[in-house]
Amino acid sequence: MMHSPFEELEYLVDFLPEEGETVVVTRRAGELVCEPHGRETSALARDGVFDPVFYGRLVQSNERLRARASRPIWITLVALFWTCVAIHAATGLNWQGWFLDVGLALMAFGGGYAWVRSRRSQLYCAQIEPVLERLIRERRLDRYAVIGSIRQHVELRFLLEEMSRSVD
């Protein structure tokens, strides 16, 4: 058992972080506790990108890109269903023509994917990229460091796709 606060501080010195890092030493329940201070430990912070406002913009941009897929997906599914119904009703194939449905589904999903990619690319180039470029420039960040940081966050995958495609 240690007898003075100075002995406790000498004991904590062994557990201090690397030189140049800041820690806060507090007393909790009679014990001294040493915690890191002033630095985020997330992937965004390690690359110097951490800023709540900037991260909020990244999340908002990602959600806007994600939302661009809902209309094409629903329209594609409904059109596929009714096309299959119409073909089966007109030709009287019943279940013998199931391979026709699969072929139509593959073509519809390919077309739907291309439609979603087009809508996302259009939104990114017209509205999201100019704002993000301004924010990156204001914070004096490297665009590739931002892309690398975003890569560490699965929740930002749609934004990562668009940013990766638009890099010079």
pLDDT by residue for the chain (168 residues), tens only, comes to 556 767 766 776 766 666 666 777 777 777 767 676 655 444 444 454 668 889 999 999 999 999 999 999 999 999 999 999 999 999 988 888 889 999 999 999 999 999 999 999 999 999 999 999 999 998 888 888 899 889 988 999 999 999 998 876
Please give the tally of structural domains in the chain. 2
Based on the fold, state whether residues 29 and 88 are members of the same structural domain.
Answer: no
Exposure string (b/e) for 37-63, b if CB count within 10 Å is 16 or more? Answer: eeeeeeebeebebbbeebbebbeebbe
Based on the fold, state whether residues 10 and 69 are members of the same structural domain.
Answer: no
Q: Global pTM?
A: 0.66
Based on the fold, state whether residues 29 and 63 are members of the same structural domain.
Answer: no
Domain that holds residue 29: 5-36
Based on the fold, state whether residues 69 and 31 are members of the same structural domain.
Answer: no
Based on the fold, state whether residues 73 and 22 are members of the same structural domain.
Answer: no
Based on the fold, state whether residues 87 and 26 are members of the same structural domain.
Answer: no
d(CA 110, CA 112): 5
3-class SS shares of the chain: helix, strand, coil, % to 5: 70, 5, 25
